[in-house]
Structures are given as C-alpha cells and as structure tokens.
Amino acid sequence: MELLKNIRGSEDIKKLPVAQLPALAAEVRKLIVEGVSRTGGHLASSLGAADLILALHYVFDTPRDRIIFDTGHQAYAHKILTGRADKFASIRQKGGLSGFLKRYESEYDAFGAGHASTALSAAAGMAAARDQAGSPHRVVAVVADGAMTGGMAWEAMQNVGQLGTDLLVILNDNQMFISQRVGRLGRILTKMLTLGTVQSAERKAELFLNRFQFWGKKILRVAKRARVLFFPGMIFEEMGFTYFGPVDGHNLAELTEVLGYVKDLKGPVLLHVVTKKGRGYEPAEEAPTSFHGAPKFDIETGEAKKAAAKGRQAPTFTAVFGSTLVELAKKDSKICAITAAMPEGTGLDLFRDTFPRRYYDVGIAEEHAVTFAAGLAADGMKPVAAVYSSFMQRSFDQVQHDVSLQKLPVVIAMDRAGIVGEDGPTHHGVFDLGLFRMVPDVVVMAPADENELQHMLATALYCGRPAMLRYPRGKGFGVDMDPEPRALEIGKGRVLSRGRDVNFLAIGNRVHPAARAAELLKAAGIDAGVADMRFAKPLDGALVRELAAAAPLITAEDNALAGGFGSAVLEYLNSEGLDQRLLRLGIPDSYVEHGKPDELYEEVGLTPEKMAAAAAKWLGRRAEKAAA
C-alpha cells in the first residue's frame, strides 16, 4: 500500500500524476477485497466503481464540492480515499465504519444513503441551496444504473431539467447492453462534445430555426429525433440534460480528462460511464450477483466461509418462504410473484425459475410493485409481493390507498423484518408493525419460526384480505417442519405455557427467546408463561384478556415500541377497561446502529437473559438471580 498510506483525501490524490492513478486504484481494490473477505459486505459494486470514485476525487475539490452517492453499495473506495483506510477492517462491525454513507462519519459523506434512487433528489436540493447562497462549489450525483429504475430518480430528473441548475449526474452503468459504444468512436464523440464546439453550433442552429414558427420548429424536431441514432442519451436530452458518453469507467486517463471537460459546464449534465461489477477480482467479475452482498469468503477461491455445523442445520426464513410459495403455486395457477429487483434476496429466484410466466421483476420500484400487485388482484390473480421490510416504508400509501381501501387480497411478504445486523439503521425492518397495523382491513402477522412461516404464507394467500407477512433475516430455529402448509385461524394466538407470576405475549422471532426467558425466570422462582400471539392485527383480544386475568403481562417484539405490537396490547387493555400491569419489550425510540444481530439484541435488551432480567426487575425480584 505504498501510495494509499499517504492518502487522506482529495488534496493528497491530486499530488499524484495521472499515470500513477491505476496503481492507487489497484491498492484500493486490494484493501476492499481483503477487508470484505473478513467481514462480509458489498463487494462487486464497490470494486466496479473504484476507478470512477478515484477520478472524481482527483478532478473535483471534495469535500467542498459535493459528491452524492445512490446507496452505499458502490462507495467503499470513497471511504478508503477519504481518510478511513486504516479503519476499513472495521466496516459493518459494531462500533466500526458503516457499510453505507453517513454524514456524521466524515465530512466527505455529503448525504447519507442506504436505500436506492435518492441521490438525484438530494443533489438537486443541494444544488438549489448552493444557488440560493451564491456559492461556487459543484454538485455531483453518482447513480448506479439499477437505481435509475426507481421512480423517485425520474421525478428528480424532470425537476432538475426544469430548474436548469448546474448539476453533474454520473450514470454508473455496469450492464453490457451498450458496452459496444465504449470504443474509439465513443471516445471521439464524447471529447468533441465536451469541448463545447458542437454544443455551441447546436444552440446557434436551434436559435435560428426557432425564428421560423412553422417549418423551423418542425425541422428542429426531426433533427433532434435523428440524433437518437447516434446518441443513446436522447431521453436525457429531452429532459433538459446535456448527455455525454458512454465513457470507459476503468480508463483513468480518459475518465479524468472527460471529467475535467464537463465539471464546469453550465446546466444539468449527464455523463454515462460504463463499469464492470467486481472489477479486479475474478470471482466477483464472474459472479457479481453472488458478490453483491458477500459473506466472509476465501480470497484465493472466492468460496464463502461457512461456520462449523452444530447439529441439524435450520433453513433460512427466506428459503422456507421461497420453497413454500413454489409448492403452493404448483397447486394454484393463479398465484404469482413480484419482486423489486431482489429475486435472490427475497427467495423468489426459485419461483422465477419454476414459473417464469408468473414471475415479475419490476426493478427498484417498491411503490409500483404494490399497486401492480393490486391490479393483478383486482382481476382475479393471487399476487405475492416480496419486499424487504425497510423498503416497504416507501409503499405505505400504496398499501393504504390501492390495496386496503379496495379490500384487494394482495399478500406483502416482508423479508428482513426486525434487526438485520451489519447493514444498520437503513435496513433494520423495525417499523412495519407500527406502520401497517394502523391500516383498516389488513391482516398483519409474524411467524415464531420457519414452520409457522409456511402456514402463515398459506393463511395470507387464502384469507381473502390484504395480508402483511413479516419474517426475519437468517436461519430459523431448527424446529420440525410439518409436511404441508395449512391456513391458520385469523387473529388467534396459541398458549405455549401459562404463568402464575407473569405471562409473556410474544410475536415473531421473539417467541422462542421469550420461552427461554420464561425458563430462566422459573429457575429463579418466578412462574412465567408464554403465548405466541401470531397476529398483530387482528389482535387476539380474548387471549390477552384471559392471560391478563391470571398475571401481569410482558410483550416482546422485534419492532419499534412506538406504535408496535406492545402498543396494540396496551390499547386493547385500555379499551376494555382492564387495569393489569404491562411491560413492553422491543426496540427503543432511537435508531439501532450496525453490528452482529446477537450484539444488537443484547444492546436493546431482547436476548433471553436481558428479557428475564428486565422481567425480574419489573416484578421486584433480583435481576441478577433471574439472569444467572
């Protein structure tokens, strides 16, 4: 790391001649591969964008000039080049660097990013603020091509075109459909255009033709349409952007030259840069999807490192969801599946490969996914939209307005519900119970384990109502699986044990930890029971009343306490005039940072030991004895 050891930011990079930039990029990639191999993380995208990020910091005066990234998947090189190389080994670890961009982590992180399609809107706002202040600094948005499938990106594009403000958008294109343009002709055209001569001639011709009200404007329209044969960015031109590219995103000499040309152009500019995911690490180049969110892996082989097996291995909740949906769809031709660009992440890759005609990938467009599902349901299909819990926050209006209000039987399967671990607060799915239990006519359920998940999926599909099914990331609890999924009675929980001193009302993946907490309490002389409540809505009020009559209650949930499952129980007790004591355990009113799930559950008090100690303290018994 001979070059990298002297780099702390943009000023240090500028001291190097352009000829040394490829060597610096190689060192950056080496550090990324070494670090992610030990911690896991977003590898392929960050390797692909390393040259582009290096060129941006070389040409622009960061952090004075603002660079805004769409998501943080592509930004590991940005962190390394801006004074965080010595901390990179801590990325995504508790107390270490975030895997995403954070304004409080570095002055170079101009805007936080965890969800896709936000960079253009944020950059437009920053450019407008700059214009208001009369500042001379530049604003750059780096948008990966996948993020351009999100509707928010296009909303921002039309707004920027309307504003006409100075803003550079880098379209980081890592697909192959336009790669043939990255050649001699593309370089020549881009250089000619960025020098300004052609732009000036075009403006003069347009002014001239616009003087002639009828035939002049007609000729101008024909001329503009003809340009699309030579310029694939015509759609951006029509939206008010000046388009340049495509440019080879791994040719640093050319990239820095082109960026030098475009950085001071006036108005909205879009530079189309073509990169390759996984660049510089062969396993990631060959399998970029596998190395998008990579687990720990062996650098030599690229193979994932697996923890030593201990007894029977439980399947993941995602795998159980995917396989159960396929089995149900074999018996019902009306079942179809929708994903927002996450087939592998949601487990729908199996459905895609089994029923390609009933599978829909709508791109990074969660809002569209839900209303698209509503349209399918309106005409008799049984759609299942699988979306990460934290991404479903974008689709609240669609659930309320397009699904619930029309009472359409759409199933929303929310993977990654609750604490997800190393991805941190942008990805923890800890708000869905509170968000969706307030919506009328919606069933909201959470399985205790992988066996209950298969039954809840069948329940959601055949309840005839809008249904929200939320389940966590990672492996299940290793329970026995019933041979066939079956529908459960809506709004009915089940009692696992009854306590004379206290009863846990648990939901989702806190049911089994609550059962363990009850065992710890019993060992300390506190008779505790546990109920698997299953449904946040409709709530099993009869079961709440029954257990409240016997002992004080403790709710346990992997969700924000504000408005969550515990709030639903509290509301029920209040509405029924029941004055039983209630302790709510869940995610406090603050964002949970990144770390291993076990570390984070310990921090928020949702491990069996912490739950038992909290219960004992609340009941007036010695917490130490209960947690021992």
Query: 10 Å Cβ neighbour count for 64?
Result: 12
pLDDT value, residue 7: 93
Determine, yes or no, domain membership for 479.
no
Angle between helices 151-163 and 119-133 (to 10 degrees): 20
Residue 451 lies in a domain: yes
Residue 166 backbone phi and psi in degrees, to 5: -75, 115
Amino acid at 370: V
Which stretches of the chain drop beneath a pLDDT of 70?
A: 175-233, 307-312, 621-628
66-69, strands of its sheet edge to edge: 66-69, 139-144, 167-173, 268-274, 242-248
Strands laid side by side in the 553-560 sheet: 494-497, 528-532, 502-506, 553-560, 582-587
Please give the angle made by the CA atoms of 563, 98 and 284, to the nearest 5 degrees. Answer: 115
Confidence at residue 570, expressed as pLDDT on a 0 to 100 scale: 97
Tokens of 224: 């503009």
Residues identified as active-site: 277, 366, 394
* Residue 157: CA count within 13 A, CB half-sphere: 24
Alpha-carbon dihedral sign for residues 371, 374, 376, 382: positive
In angstroms, the Cα distances linking 378 to 367, 404, 467, 484 are 17, 12, 15, 28
Q: At what angle do helices 511-523 and 608-619 cross, to 10 degrees?
A: 50
Same domain? 275 vs 339: no
And the tokens for 274?
């073509």
Tell me if 515 sits within 8 A of 467, measured CB to CB: no
pLDDT of res. 226: 44
The answer on 529 and 602 residing in a single domain is yes
Which helix (H) or strand (E) is 412 found in, with range? strand 411-415
356 and 465 housed in the same domain: yes
- Please tell me whether residues 507 and 438 are part of one structural domain: no
399 and 537 inside one domain: no
CA–CA gap between residue 395 and residue 416 (Å, rounded): 16
What residues make up the domain containing 140?
A: 4-286
* 397-401 contacts at long range (C-beta below 8 A, 24 or more positions apart): 397/367, 398/367, 398/370, 398/371, 398/374, 399/370, 399/436, 399/439, 399/442, 399/466, 399/468, 400/439
pTM above 0.75, yes or no: yes
Flag whether 63 is in a domain.
yes
Q: How far is CA 333 from CA 329, 330, 358, 361, 484, in A?
A: 6, 7, 9, 18, 18
* Contact call for residues 556 and 611 (beta carbons, < 8 A): yes
Q: 3-state class of 59 per DSSP?
A: helix
Q: Alpha-carbon distance 168 to 124, whole Å?
A: 10
In a domain, 42, yes or no: yes
223 shares a domain with 97: yes
| Sequential DSSP letters for 294-340 | B-SB-TTT-PBP-PPP-SSPPPBHHHHHHHHHHHHHHH-TTEEEEES
Is there a domain that residue 481 lies in? no
Q: Single out the residue of 190, 171, 180, 167 nearest to residue 254, CA to CA.
A: 190
- Is there a single domain that holds both residue 266 and residue 160? yes
Regarding whether 436 and 329 lie in a shared domain, the answer is yes
Give, in order, the Cα–Cα distances in Å from 501 to each of 263, 417, 442, 530: 70, 31, 34, 12
Amino acid at the residue 571: E
Place of tokens 């920053």: 126
Residue 306 lies in a domain: no
Distance CA(70)–CA(59), nearest Å, equals 20
Residue 299 domain flag: no
**What amino acid occupies position 74?**
Q
Burial 204-226 (b: 16+ CB within 10 A, else e): eeeeebeeeeeeeeeebeeeeee
Q: Are residues 509 and 456 in the same domain?
A: no
Give dist(CA 98, CA 90) in Å, integer.
9
CATH, residue 426: 3.40.50.970
- pLDDT score of 181: 35
Backbone angles phi, psi at 416, to 5 degrees: 60, 35
122 plus 271 within the same structural domain: yes
Asked whether residue 20 is assigned to any structural domain, the reply reads yes
> Which DSSP state fits 155?
H
d(CA 559, CA 430): 4
Number of domains, the chain: 3
Residues 271 and 411 in one domain: no
Q: Among residues 286, 301, 336, which one ends one of the domains?
A: 286
Same domain, 450 and 409: yes
Q: Look at residue 200 in the predicted model and tell me its pLDDT.
A: 56
